[in-house]
């Protein structure tokens, strides 16, 4: 009881703040309903709507069972009061039937509710990551302002909370409404009429237990809100302190080599200690706040057991009601106060649910903004397929997303087999490559892609997904497209023959291989894919000049007809290039 009553108090402050912001709440619920409508209208709508209908029917059944149990309780105590053995045995038989029915209802309800949760989470997760992982949108939004940080957390965690909590909260609200309807009628009928004698006037009060339950719940909610106010503040402070501590540990892990080289372990330990001391400080403050909440919740829970019996006891002592009616009134009172306490009981869950939904909606809003901006043909670099086997730049300008122009007036045609060295500002050159790939549209002008041949981009470090080395090499294509002989030959040519025996070994290759080896794996990908248009962005900057020259000669030997555009800091390789593009 105490644990349940603690949850009744937590998060009330957030709920009050949320209710105050009515205009924002209105827009939030409209946006959420629009998103939800897509789920209800999805391809699985018949299964979804059927599950909702069954869930509602089972919830009604659970409320009916709760009412029947209070009636059974009344019958049991009446039989005890009358010393009726036959009545007691009849109540035992009824209890067995009620237990079996309640177990069946509860089990079926849990399965259907969890199925509905996973249906919704499955749809929501796919809806969000399909929009995020589309045509470079995941890269574009990282350079735009707006609420879109940590998209991985929004997709993995917030989608789960938004869907599971929505169903849990919606069901609990529906259940509480049904409880309120059912037990208000029971409590009203068992209350009778109580006359308030003021000496000069007598006032009849109908359904007095109902009014007492309402006042009792309101007072408990107000007191619980006052007691629980510090919890929200200290919980947020603790989460911030914990996040700072984890971030410091992660930063040290990612820079372990640099820390070891300069023997900075003592400094790092001091920093860890200071950050953890902040956790301890907030922990003590939170403990004090939790103690106060626990004191209130314990008292409230104990009172909640005795209070409905105490207020009905005088009528029983006076012989106006039976013992069964007394116990039924007490149980109905408790059920009604629980239903009235729904806003307070679920305040913390509502706040957490809303925060997750807002994070999802803000991510989708930024993606919508990107789509709208890209649709404006006069606002971005236009990348389109040409009718000739030529890569052409027409009055091309490259800019930052917030306006400043980095390069302008670029006009050039690059034909098949040419080798072009991009000089000047390599920072701008990297953005030119991204513009060609269609993932950096800021600027103006036209990029005409060649009508024939595949474009292949090699960044400074290739992405190597966790898994087998074979899959990492073939990524993003299927491993079935390349034979064992092709992969082994490419590994030997790239100087990685020592990895042949590890092709089917599962590792985190980014951490296992040195940066130079990772760049050589990029060469292996190039050799097995054999593209016609190659874009090298400092793809071999971790190799020494002789090794980089060897890689370039290898490309010329193995892919003599390929077009090559290169961004490089190595000036000794100028002889490989037939043209230059100065930025």
Sequence-ordered list of residues with C-beta below 8 angstroms from that of 330, at least 6 positions apart, any chain: 308, 309, 312
Q: Which of 454, 229, 163, 186 is nearest to 328 (CA)?
A: 186
517, two tokens: 């080896």
**How many C-beta atoms lie closer than 10 Å to residue 14's C-beta?**
20
Tens digit of each residue's pLDDT, the chain (583 residues): 444 444 433 443 343 343 334 345 567 778 888 888 888 888 888 888 888 899 999 988 888 888 888 778 778 877 777 888 888 888 888 888 988 988 998 888 889 999 998 998 889 888 888 888 887 777 777 766 666 667 777 888 888 888 988 899 888 899 888 888 877 777 777 776 666 666 666 666 666 777 777 787 777 777 777 777 777 677 767 877 887 888 888 888 878 877 887 788 888 888 899 999 999 998 988 888 878 877 777 777 677 777 777 777 777 777 777 777 777 777 777 778 777 777 767 766 777 788 788 888 888 888 877 777 776 666 688 888 888 899 999 998 888 776 688 888 889 999 998 998 888 888 888 888 888 888 777 888 889 999 888 899 998 888 888 889 999 999 888 888 899 999 999 999 999 999 999 999 998 888 888 899 999 999 999 999 999 999 998 888 888 888 888 898 899 899 999 999 988 776 556 677 888 888 8
Is it true that the peptide bond before 36 is cis, omega within 30 degrees of 0? no
The CATH H-level superfamily of 2-373 is ABC transporter type 1, transmembrane domain (1.20.1560.10)
At 564, give phi and psi (nearest 5°): -130, 125
Query: CA quadruple 502, 503, 508, 514: dihedral positive or negative?
Result: positive
Distance CA 580, CA 560 (A): 19
| Res 223: pLDDT | 76
Distance CA 499, CA 495 (A): 9
294, two tokens: 């626990």
Domain residue spans of the chain: 2-373, 382-582
CA distances (Å), origin 164, targets 41, 106, 263: 19, 18, 48
**How many C-beta atoms lie closer than 10 Å to residue 581's C-beta?**
19
Q: Same CATH topology for 2-373 and 382-582?
A: no
| Res 348: pLDDT | 66
What is the CATH number that goes with domain 382-582? 3.40.50.300
To 10 degrees, the CA torsion angle through 470, 474, 479, 482?
A: -100
């Amino acid at each position: 009881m105490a644990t349940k009553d603690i949850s009744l108090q937590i998060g009330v402050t957030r709920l009050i703040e949320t209710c105050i912001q009515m205009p924002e709440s209105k827009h939030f619920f409209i946006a959420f309903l629009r998103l939800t409508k897509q789920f209800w209208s999805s391809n699985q709508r018949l299964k979804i709507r059927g599950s909702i209908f069954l869930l509602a029917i089972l919830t009604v059944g659970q409320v009916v069972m709760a009412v029947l149990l209070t009636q059974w309780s009344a019958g049991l105590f009446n039989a005890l009061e009358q010393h009726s053995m036959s009545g007691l045995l009849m109540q035992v038989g009824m209890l067995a039937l009620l237990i079996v029915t309640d177990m069946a209802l509860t089990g079926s309800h849990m399965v259907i509710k969890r199925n509905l949760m996973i249906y919704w989470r499955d749809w929501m997760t796919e809806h969000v990551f399909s929009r995020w992982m589309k045509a470079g949108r995941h890269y574009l939004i990282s350079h735009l302002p707006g609420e879109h940080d940590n998209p991985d957390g929004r997709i993995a965690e917030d989608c789960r909370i938004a869907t599971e909590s929505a169903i849990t909260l919606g069901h609990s609200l529906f259940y509480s409404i049904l409880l309120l309807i059912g037990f208000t009628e029971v409590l009203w009928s068992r209350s009778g009429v109580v006359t308030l004698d003021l000496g000069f006037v007598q006032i009849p009060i109908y359904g007095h237990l109902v009014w007492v339950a309402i006042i009792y719940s309101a007072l408990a909610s107000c007191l619980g809100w006052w007691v629980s106010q510090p919890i929200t503040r200290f919980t947020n402070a603790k989460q911030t302190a914990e996040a700072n501590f984890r971030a410091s540990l992660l930063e040290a892990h990612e820079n372990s080599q640099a820390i070891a080289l300069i023997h900075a372990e003592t400094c790092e330990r001091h920093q860890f200690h200071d950050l953890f001391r902040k956790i301890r400080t907030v922990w003590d403050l939170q403990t004090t706040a939790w103690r106060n909440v626990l004191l209130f919740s314990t008292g409230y829970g104990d009172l909640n057991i005795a209070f409905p019996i105490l207020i009905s006891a005088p009528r029983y002592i006076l012989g106006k009601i039976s013992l069964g009616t007394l116990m039924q009134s007490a149980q109905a009172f408790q059920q009604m106060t629980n239903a009235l306490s729904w806003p307070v009981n679920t305040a913390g869950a509502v706040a957490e649910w809303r925060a997750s939904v807002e994070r999802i909606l803000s991510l989708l809003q930024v993606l919508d903004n990107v789509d709208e901006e890209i649709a404006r043909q006069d606002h971005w670099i236009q990348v389109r397929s040409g009718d000739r086997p030529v890569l052409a730049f027409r009055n091309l300008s490259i800019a930052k997303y917030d306006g400043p122009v980095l390069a302008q007036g670029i006009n050039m045609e690059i034909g098949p087999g040419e080798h072009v060295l991009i000089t000047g500002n390599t920072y701008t050159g990297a953005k030119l490559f991204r513009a060609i790939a269609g993932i950096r549209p800021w600027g103006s002008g036209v990029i005409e892609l060649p009508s024939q041949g595949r474009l292949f981009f090699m960044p400074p470090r290739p992405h190597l997904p966790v898994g087998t080395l074979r899959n990492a090499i073939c990524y993003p294509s299927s491993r079935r497209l390349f034979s064992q002989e092709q992969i082994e030959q490419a590994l030997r040519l790239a100087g990685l023959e020592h990895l042949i025996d590890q092709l089917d070994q599962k590792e985190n290759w980014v951490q296992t291989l040195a940066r130079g080896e990772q760049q050589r794996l990029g060469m292996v990908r190039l050799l097995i894919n054999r593209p016609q248009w190659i874009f090298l962005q400092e793809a071999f900057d971790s190799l020494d000049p002789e090794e980089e020259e060897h890689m370039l000669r290898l490309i010329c030997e193995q892919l003599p007809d390929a077009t090559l555009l290169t961004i490089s800091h190595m000036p000794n390789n100028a002889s490989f290039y037939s043209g230059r593009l100065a930025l």
